[in-house]
Structure 1
């Protein structure tokens, strides 16, 4: 394979000795200059000498394991129990790793020194540690030690070695690996290695797992891994590898090459079987499908986030690659324009297929022998115009993702052909629902969602649905139905008929619904209802048999909530959202009292307000009391009486004036 570019440990101190020395000097000075201070100083020194020595934080010892992490230690405690097998000195202040640092113990099985400041290791330190199996030196400064060009070995029995995050660059790892014959797991992640040389792992022939994630690897010399006959897992992700040619690691089972710059992946031409089970080539720059071994055991293949334009299935039959054991195939986020059915001919075990976010205008599985084991197919976010499924092509398909395709027409009964379908995601399309009534002509290109025997989850949000006919989902055991974001949706009163004993969650948000004609009280299993962001002025009717647990009424036009309806819900209701409604305080006193004193949780209660009178300031519903409404009512009565009296007085005044104006005038005569 080649590439380019519990008995706590106690730590004694010498604080008391230092204090005595300081005190003696102080006493001499005092006797010479200030005799009157002698007695107080003497008392102070005696007290200081009797102080217990200062203890550093204690390690936790459990049987033969000592845990001393995060104690600001520069070395292991001197009184570690004999025969300690595990020492955790992680996240301390160790700088020099010597025999003294480890309190001269050599019987360790597990030594954790990660996240210190180690920049020096005493030569031959691990020579006498014949039982040391796990050594963690990650997150230190071993690049400084490597400059001395001294081997730290031999690491005779070490099986797991972690050297990640040490600033190591090309060639430095050799000084840690040269004499490690038992090493099986090695981590060199997050260093600055640019090249894997042919001799890098020559002293570690037993390696089974190598981690080289997050380096700057540009080149892998020919034969760098050839001597590692036991190597089964190799992580080269997040590097700068541009190509893999003549891939020939027959025993490797897991290879991660994600997040590189790979433009070409090609296996060596061979009739031998490859044991590779998982290959991750995601987030690279491949324009062509990888050329994989003809005889392979591949189960997981990820080529997502590349630049694939097509899946190359050309070539002579003798060179054709078979994927008989492939179970997971991810080709999402590419530029695929078509996938011929022949591509699936040799995928008899495929369970998950993801081709979302591509440029597919059509997708067809017409041959009944294809994708017989597929359980999940993701075709979301493609410009699909045509979708075809054969009568018996996908017998085990359980989840189908078609959201974000802008599909307008499908074969009327396409989903009835999927006998095992449970989860159907159709958000962001332009589908219409056919009516079961033979006297009604359904919309052109409409789709039936009735009699889909195992369908449980159906998302039809953002489909510009205009009508929801009666019995639209009859004989389909839906537990979740999302009809949100279909403004102007006209729902028949029997549109949810047939879902009485199955439907658990119903979403109808943002549909501009002013009144709900559909009877929800008959849905006996319904627990979660979202009616937010509509124009409802009244609640749907529910009876005491309701099982509603969560109800969202936010952003509607509700002024008065029928107390009888809410009382019917009280025995089952657990969560209620009701913010952004023009609620009347005094018209909902019984309901507000119920909310204030029941176990119903109102998550948005801080924003739920009501109005006592027209044009008055909103009041948080938690602050509303009956007295407030009584005072408000009394004030209203007084105002009404005053207004009435004023009107009567004005009327009387006008009447009197009118009567005076109509009184007959006396005739006046003058004699000449």
Structure 2
């Protein structure tokens, strides 16, 4: 009977399930004439969409066969997004009647399956932008998709498996302006493959396997990206034609010599970083070529102005991560517009700018991580330089006034060198000026009276002393003196920065006591004193504007009440981990952490110790009541000890008296 009841209930549940309406998928979003149906697990477009829609987004669904029925016979579309489906079949002629379709995204599907059938999808009469990226397409397959695309201007074939660009690849889409072939495995480009594309202005061939280009002749091209290939040569066809190329990226290749570029060009951006350049010569050795400019003169017509037209428009030049040992100043003679020069991570031992007017528009110069030992800037050079990167070199001796010759300098990156700092001549108070060499260390560099300098990085310079008035008349906003173990700061070393300094970094200097008065720095907001040996905090007054303070990894036991009170007004972020704090001696600090708006990001590592306990506890677990209880317990113990001591004294007194009285009785009996 029980089995029959269970069977009856099962039948009823099945009937109820069959009568239940099918699962409703979330509806598409309709915004005016645009319909968004992405991520709905659809196998076709919904049939109840408004008539005459212009944009349909069916991305990230389950579409497999693309037919008129799949698209619900919508022919008025301007944009169709089918990105990330499972499409492996397209009905031939499907897009023929879509006379207004301008943008078609078929990326991340399985169109290689369709291409195996060797069937054309039919004309894309009006399509201007077509995305076929990440479809597993290889050489020859693109013909079935773009063979009849007279209006196509933008084509993306990114992330496929194309190995060769044939001469007739783009013959059905002569209006192309932008082609993206990034991340394929292109080994060969047939001669003339792009020659018929008279409107082509942008070509991305990055991340392929191209080994050389010896006859670049696409004079109408404006943007060319050849980065991340295996190129060993880039050479332009010898011609007097003016090339429109503005952007050329040759980074991450194997080029040993500077590329041979068009004599007459408009180039503004050139990246040759991460190659194998040993010099800036365009061919061979120094014996074969005196310098880069002369090589171009050898190819150029006899015109005295030709040399100055070579790179007269160049704004950005990146030669970083190569093996360059030296750069002659003649290399820069034609670069009258250059604003950014990056030659970091090379083998350059010396760098001189000694010709007036040279690099006069340069704003950023990156010489970091070379082998620089000599550096010189003459007067009236680098007049526009704002950022100078010199970190990671072996600079020990510089002209003391080298940075005062840079009238626009804002940021100096000098970390990881071996420099010494001069005292300001204007405020020198110890020896007179004629004895300056006895007071200033030999080879020191002056950072005073640089009126535009705002950011100065001097970490890891083996600095031992920071003299008085070191930055006088230099309105620094940021000063990094970290990682200079044993640094001794004169009490007046930061004088002159009272109204400007906002960031001060002094971490890992083995400082046990900060002699400099930081309370006078009224604009100071961010201070890093971590990983030192501080036992007390610097004094701050109520006018303190400190917002972020890092005191991690010091020897702080007790924080001064007045200092905590002054900081509490402005402090927003505090790092305090890895200090041997006393729990009950820092109740004001605990109150600030637990009840104020101060954020302690490393709160889990901030611990303290109770007087009678050696095990540290997290400061969040400390309460005033517990400390008071401990104080009362301590008082009780002290009272008990005092009482015991008093009782012992009384007992000892009584015993002494008793013994003394007995001795007197004994003496009297003896005399009798």
Q: TM-score by structure 1 length?
A: 0.90
2:359 to 358, 366, 371: 371
1:659 shift after superposition: 9.2
1:591 shift after superposition: 2.6
Match of 1:483 in 2: 481
Distance change in 2, residues 1:644/1:288 (3 Å) = same
Query: What are the Cα deviations for residues 177-208 of structure 1, in whole angstroms up to 9, with x where unaligned?
Result: 11000000000010000000000000110000
Output the CA distance in 2 between the equivalents of 1:458 and 1:40: 80
Match of 1:280 in 2: 249
1:325 aligns with 2:313: yes
1:456 aligns with 2:444: no
Match of 2:337 in 1: 349
Match of 1:105 in 2: 74
Match of 1:546 in 2: 544
Q: Please show how residues 223-238 of structure 1 align to structure 2 within 5 Å.
A: 223-238=192-207
Match of 1:603 in 2: 601
1:634 shift after superposition: 2.2
Query: What are the Cα deviations for residues 82-114 of structure 1, in whole angstroms up to 9, with x where unaligned?
Result: 112111111111111111111122111111111
1:637 shift after superposition: 2.4
1:420 aligns with 2:408: yes
Match of 2:636 in 1: 638
Query: What are the Cα deviations for residues 154-176 of structure 1, in whole angstroms up to 9, with x where unaligned?
Result: 11110000111111110000111
1:183 to 152, 156, 161: 152
Output the CA distance in 2 between the equivalents of 1:463 and 1:385: 14
Output the CA distance in 2 between the equivalents of 1:42 and 1:412: 96
Output the CA distance in 2 between the equivalents of 1:659 and 1:465: 75
CA RMSD of aligned residues (A): 2.5
Output the CA distance in 2 between the equivalents of 1:629 and 1:49: 71
Output the CA distance in 1 between the equivalents of 2:133 and 2:500: 53
Secondary structure in 1 aligned to 2:470? coil
Output the CA distance in 2 between the equivalents of 1:273 and 1:471: 56
- 2:247·2:267 contact (CA, 8 Å) conserved in 1? yes
Match of 1:15 in 2: none
Output the CA distance in 2 between the equivalents of 1:377 and 1:74: 56
Secondary structure in 1 aligned to 2:331? helix
Gaps of 5+ in 1: 1-33
Query: What are the Cα deviations for residues 454-477 of structure 1, in whole angstroms up to 9, with x where unaligned?
Result: 000001111111111111000001
Match of 1:208 in 2: 177
**Which sits farther off after the overlay, 234-243 or 90-99?**
90-99
Secondary structure in 2 aligned to 1:521? helix
- 1:351·1:374 contact (CA, 8 Å) conserved in 2? yes
Distance change in 2, residues 1:395/1:54 (3 Å) = same
Output the CA distance in 1 between the equivalents of 2:363 and 2:353: 14
1:117 to 80, 86, 89: 86
Larger RCO (alpha carbons 8 Å, 6+ apart): 1
Output the CA distance in 2 between the equivalents of 1:194 and 1:104: 37
Query: What are the Cα deviations for residues 319-365 of structure 1, in whole angstroms up to 9, with x where unaligned?
Result: 26610000000000000000010000010000000000000000111
Secondary structure in 1 aligned to 2:295? coil
Output the CA distance in 2 between the equivalents of 1:172 and 1:39: 58
Secondary structure in 1 aligned to 2:608? strand
1:639 shift after superposition: 2.8
Query: What are the Cα deviations for residues 560-610 of structure 1, in whole angstroms up to 9, with x where unaligned?
Result: 111112112222111111121111122122232233221222222222121
1:247 aligns with 2:235: no
Gaps of 5+ in 2: 282-291, 301-306
1:432 aligns with 2:432: no
Output the CA distance in 1 between the equivalents of 2:130 and 2:314: 33
**Which sits farther off after the overlay, 56-65 or 149-158?**
56-65
Match of 1:497 in 2: 495
- 1:153·1:180 contact (CA, 8 Å) conserved in 2? no
1:250 shift after superposition: 0.4
Secondary structure in 2 aligned to 1:315? helix
Secondary structure in 2 aligned to 1:458? strand
Match of 1:7 in 2: none
Distance change in 2, residues 1:460/1:657 (3 Å) = same
Output the CA distance in 1 between the equivalents of 2:640 and 2:553: 38
1:570 aligns with 2:568: yes
- 2:564·2:588 contact (CA, 8 Å) conserved in 1? no
1:667 shift after superposition: 11
Output the CA distance in 2 between the equivalents of 1:265 and 1:94: 44
Output the CA distance in 2 between the equivalents of 1:659 and 1:267: 121
Match of 1:172 in 2: 141
1:59 shift after superposition: 1.4
Output the CA distance in 2 between the equivalents of 1:368 and 1:124: 67
Output the CA distance in 2 between the equivalents of 1:524 and 1:627: 37
Match of 2:284 in 1: none
**Which sits farther off after the overlay, 562-571 or 241-250?**
562-571
How many equivalent residue pairs?
A: 635
Output the CA distance in 2 between the equivalents of 1:290 and 1:654: 104
